[in-house]
């Protein structure tokens, strides 16, 4: 176990501090910052309160849910393909069955990321971090002992956790949030999911794919309203067609939980009964235990910190990245934020920024991914655009793999032919989108839809959807 640096080992650059930088949290944001600083020969310490590195992304969020989704997607593919199950009964798996695959992926990710820190000689402290002052961190170890370490600069990368309203009893064995659902020990036949954001929609797909009855309660009037309307409508239809009951514009009034079921009462007067409740409505930044006031900081009502373009907080030597600063709350963006933040810590004149068009990947079944503007945004801005579409069912590769559900949509300027937005619904959408994203990032006139017509794609591939959509869109021009 790492011990605090002695006075004789304090950095030459900052003789009054134990470290050049302390990173609180080992998720994507903390990792991006720590690796960048360590590779610039800075003495770095990371603090993680969980027993293993990786943060919420690895242990409760991105990695587990996507591993679960992958297993369920393959199960659906197996059961729907007559080549595999001709004359046989459909194969069934439980939530516990597919958790084993997720656990194996988590172990591999932890080993990989632990290796990063070890090879780059980053000091690793296990325990709960809190501020003593703007340069000093107190670490309460799991055995009750306490360490104090100091650094010239500190990065808060503590992530977020599910929002838990006080009136809901999350200690009840039939009430879960998106973290505790990974500890589900029984095989529910009916699940109520409250909150139809990204997490709620993904778990609705997972449970329904396992044959579990799902009631999805949406507090808004449409699913994932930040998406292009056609993508949102496609997801709604696909969930409905697979048997998910979606209730829009509803709010929970109360929850009655017993030994063998839960009853959810909605403000509209409706009641629903199921084996368990998954609460997936909102997240809050992990700042409550940091003693921010001791460092001169204060979080907002959602536990989030305000930062400038360099991820610097109101206190000059303290930075924050990832979910703890809010938007865009993506693992991919958090890693880049950590890297950019480290650059600013090393060089106050650093001008690095996140890209403007950050791709979103939503791992429902099928996936949704998008980059750039939606039709609604372009219409509101009165930008003359045209649409090019490709249906997956018409692509040879989709027919071969039997992934016929989905489409690709390209939005482009009618006059300049500049690509303004790309939206994809279907298997591997989060991979497919990056082809279009790469073209959108081209400068000096390189970003035009004509690229997809002038370029030869491998055949058969899903990438061919870009050529089909581009031809479709260009044929609309007159």
Tokens at 183, concatenated: 């500890």
51 is in an annotated binding site: yes
Task: Please check if 66 is assigned to a binding site.
Answer: no
Report whether 417 belongs to an annotated binding site.
Answer: no
Whether 48 has a binding-site annotation, put simply, is: yes
Instruction: Please indicate if the annotation marks 52 as binding a ligand.
Output: yes
Instruction: Identify whether the C-beta of residue 252 lies closer than 8 Å to the C-beta of residue 217.
Output: yes
* 50 annotated as belonging to a binding site for a ligand: yes
Residue 264 annotated as binding site: no
Instruction: Return the structure tokens found at 138.
Output: 């107190």
Residues in the chain: 478
Q: Is 57 known to sit in a ligand binding site?
A: yes
In this structure, the strands spanning 283-285 and 160-162 are: antiparallel
d(CA 372, CA 100): 37
302 labelled ligand-binding = no
User: Annotation-wise, does 401 bind a ligand?
Assistant: no
Q: Which residues are annotated as a binding site?
A: 48-57
Q: Which residues are annotated as a binding site for FAD?
A: 48-57
């Amino acid at each position: 176990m790492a011990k605090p640096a002695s006075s004789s080992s304090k950095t030459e650059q900052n003789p009054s501090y134990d470290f050049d930088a302390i990173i609180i949290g080992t998720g994507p944001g903390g990792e991006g910052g720590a690796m960048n600083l360590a590779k610039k020969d800075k003495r770095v310490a990371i603090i993680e309160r969980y027993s293993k590195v990786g943060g919420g992304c690895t242990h409760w969020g991105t990695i587990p849910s996507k591993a679960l989704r992958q297993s369920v997607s393959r199960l659906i593919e197996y059961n729907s393909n007559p080549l595999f199950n001709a004359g046989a009964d459909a194969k069934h798996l439980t939530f516990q069955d597919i958790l084993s695959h997720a656990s194996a992926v988590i172990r591999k990710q932890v080993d990989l990321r632990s290796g990063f820190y070890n090879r780059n000689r980053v000091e690793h402290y296990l325990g709960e971090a809190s501020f003593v002052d703007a340069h000093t961190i107190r670490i309460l170890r799991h055995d009750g002992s306490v360490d104090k370490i100091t650094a010239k600069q500190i990065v808060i990368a503590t992530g977020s956790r599910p929002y838990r309203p006080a009136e809901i009893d999350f200690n009840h064995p039939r009430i879960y949030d998106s973290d505790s659902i990974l500890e589900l020990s029984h095989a529910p036949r009916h699940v109520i999911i409250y909150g139809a954001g990204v997490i709620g929609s993904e778990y609705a797909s997972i449970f329904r794919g396992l044959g579990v009855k799902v009631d999805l309660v949406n507090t808004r009037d449409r699913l994932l309203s930040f998406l292009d309307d056609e993508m949102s409508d496609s997801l709604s239809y696909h969930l409905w067609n697979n048997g998910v009951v979606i209730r829009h514009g509803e709010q929970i009034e109360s929850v009655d939980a017993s030994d063998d079921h839960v009853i959810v009462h909605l403000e509209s007067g409706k009641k629903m009964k199921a084996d368990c409740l998954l609460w997936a409505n909102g997240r809050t930044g992990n700042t409550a235990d940091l003693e921010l006031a001791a460092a001169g900081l204060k979080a907002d009502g959602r536990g989030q910190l305000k930062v400038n373009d360099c991820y610097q907080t109101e206190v000059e030597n303290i930075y924050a990245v990832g979910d703890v600063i809010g938007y865009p709350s993506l693992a991919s963006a958090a890693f880049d934020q950590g890297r950019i933040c480290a650059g600013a810590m090393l060089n106050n004149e650093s001008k690095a920024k996140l890209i403007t068009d950050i791709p979103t990947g939503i791992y429902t079944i099928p996936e949704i991914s998008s980059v750039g503007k939606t039709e609604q945004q372009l219409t509101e801005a009165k930008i003359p655009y045209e649409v090019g579409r490709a249906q997956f069912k018409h692509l040879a590769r989709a027919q071969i793999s039997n992934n016929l559900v989905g489409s690709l949509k390209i939005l482009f300027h009618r006059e300049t032919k500049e690509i303004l937005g790309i939206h994809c619904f279907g298997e591997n959408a989060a991979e497919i989108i990056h082809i279009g994203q790469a073209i959108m990032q081209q400068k000096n006139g390189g970003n035009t839809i004509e690229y997809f017509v002038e370029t030869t794609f491998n055949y058969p591939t899903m990438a061919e959807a870009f050529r089909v959509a581009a031809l479709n869109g260009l044929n609309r021009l007159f």
